[in-house]
Structure 1
């Protein structure tokens, strides 16, 4: 029983990180109707900015405080994501208002390749470390309940907590604030939103900036765990089954979908992996997503599309 709970908790913590990446897709799709293929590149670019600025800031200002360097680097990386959001709206989105979905999709693919190349040009292409002080030593908990206790990674626990707080804050933002309601109106109909005075360009800058913040937090967490390398872009692919399960238009769905995928991957790796020869955690999520596409293509919390003729 203790081993099962240990695997379950590991899956839940991984699932929160998947939810964090999936949120970037959901936020942008809700506000602009665009499936943002550049979310993975945004995670990488934000992580590169954080890693390199944390190295450069002590050299620029001549101090040795790692905490202060990380704080300044975080705000500089945040400024980079704000500038990126403004440029995307100014140079891409405002010229594609009410265009076909495939046109917007191709635009995000172009943004992906631009970010990959620009990130290498500005920040370099080596593997960089992000050290924000998260403890990496595992600890044993509930030793009085389970024989030997439960082994928990402190870093995973802190990362899951940070992701949960950010997810909760974004959920409240979309549901309870005027800006969040305006973003939902923009997603429903661009022209109707403009006709009632909602500034379309400003809304897009806001939502791409918020998605950039989620990408930055995800990049810091994953970069702290595995280092900042170009394989970070594949994290977005791991989040695709999450939004298929939860629904592309649902913030709560991204949370629930991430938890389901995280727990499913961990438990299948532990209990089914030895039976099938390993590697099940790589394809389990996609098989589960395929099943959902066959029987409930809108996901658990997605809006069912009804065509009237």
Structure 2
């Protein structure tokens, strides 16, 4: 029982991190109707900026306080992501208003490759380290209930709490602020939103900036765990089935979808994998998402679209 709970908790924590990346997809689609294929590249680009700024600042300023250095690096990386959001709106999306969905999808694909290349040009292509003081040592819990206790990663616990807090803040932002309501109005109909005075260009800069902030937080967490390397952008591929499962327009769906996939792949790999030769963790999420598409194409929590003719 102890081993099962250990695997279950590990899956929940991994699922929460998947959800954090999936939030970027949901935020942009919810607010602009654009499926952002560049979210993985944004995670990598933000993580590279954070890692390199934290490395450069002590050499440039003589700072030896890690907390201040990380705070300044985070501020600088966030500034970079806001600049990226402005450039995307000014030179890409602002020129593609009311175009077909496939046109916007291809535009985000181009943005993805551009960010990958720009990240390598500006920040280098080596493997970099992010150290924001997250505890690395695992701990044992419930030793009195289970023999040997349950092994828990402190880093995963902290990351999960950060992701959960971010989800709560973003949900409140969309539901209870005038900017959040404007974002949802733009997603429903660009022309109608413009006709009632909602500035489309400003709204898109805001939503891409928020998505950049989410990408930065996700990049810091994943970079702290795995190191900042160009394979980090592939983490977003695991977020795709999360979005499909939960629904492209649902913030809670992204969270629940991530938890389902995180737990499902861990349990299946540990308990079923040995019988099938392993590798279930690689394809489990995609097969589950495919099955959901057969039954409910809009996802478990997505909005059903009804076209009246």
Shorter-normalised TM range: over 0.9
Match of 2:112 in 1: 112
- The secondary structure found in structure 2 opposite 1:248 is coil
Match of 1:123 in 2: 123
| Cα offset, 1:34, TM superposition | 0.6
Matched, 1:43 2:43: yes
Match of 2:208 in 1: 208
- CA distance in structure 1 between the partners assigned to 2:290 and 2:198 by the alignment: 38
- CA distance in structure 2 between the partners assigned to 1:63 and 1:29 by the alignment: 40
| Cα offset, 1:64, TM superposition | 1.2
- CA distance in structure 2 between the partners assigned to 1:236 and 1:159 by the alignment: 17
**What is the RMSD of the two structures over their aligned residues, measured on CA atoms?**
0.7
Q: TM-score, normalization: structure 1?
A: 0.99
Match of 1:96 in 2: 96
- CA distance in structure 2 between the partners assigned to 1:111 and 1:147 by the alignment: 51
- CA distance in structure 2 between the partners assigned to 1:163 and 1:303 by the alignment: 24
Give CA-to-partner distance per residue, 1:174-195, whole Å, 9 cap, x none: 1111111110000000010111
- CA distance in structure 2 between the partners assigned to 1:132 and 1:117 by the alignment: 26
- The secondary structure found in structure 2 opposite 1:113 is helix
Matched, 1:16 2:16: yes
- The secondary structure found in structure 2 opposite 1:192 is helix
| Cα offset, 1:269, TM superposition | 1.0
**Structure 1: which 5+ runs fail to align?**
none
| Cα offset, 1:24, TM superposition | 0.4
- CA distance in structure 2 between the partners assigned to 1:161 and 1:269 by the alignment: 25
Match of 2:180 in 1: 180
- CA distance in structure 2 between the partners assigned to 1:299 and 1:121 by the alignment: 38
1:1-309 equivalences under 5 Å are 1-309=1-309
Q: Which moved more, 1:140-149 or 1:195-204?
A: 140-149
| Cα offset, 1:65, TM superposition | 1.3
- CA distance in structure 2 between the partners assigned to 1:88 and 1:35 by the alignment: 14
Q: Which ranges of 4 or more aligned residues in structure 1 deviate by more than 4 Å?
A: none
- CA distance in structure 2 between the partners assigned to 1:205 and 1:75 by the alignment: 18
Q: TM-score, normalization: structure 2?
A: 0.99
| Number of equivalent positions | 309
- CA distance in structure 2 between the partners assigned to 1:30 and 1:294 by the alignment: 23
- CA distance in structure 2 between the partners assigned to 1:34 and 1:66 by the alignment: 38
Give CA-to-partner distance per residue, 1:92-118, whole Å, 9 cap, x none: 111100001111111101101110111
- CA distance in structure 2 between the partners assigned to 1:270 and 1:161 by the alignment: 25
- CA distance in structure 2 between the partners assigned to 1:196 and 1:306 by the alignment: 24
- The secondary structure found in structure 1 opposite 2:187 is helix
| Cα offset, 1:172, TM superposition | 0.9
- CA distance in structure 1 between the partners assigned to 2:8 and 2:152 by the alignment: 11
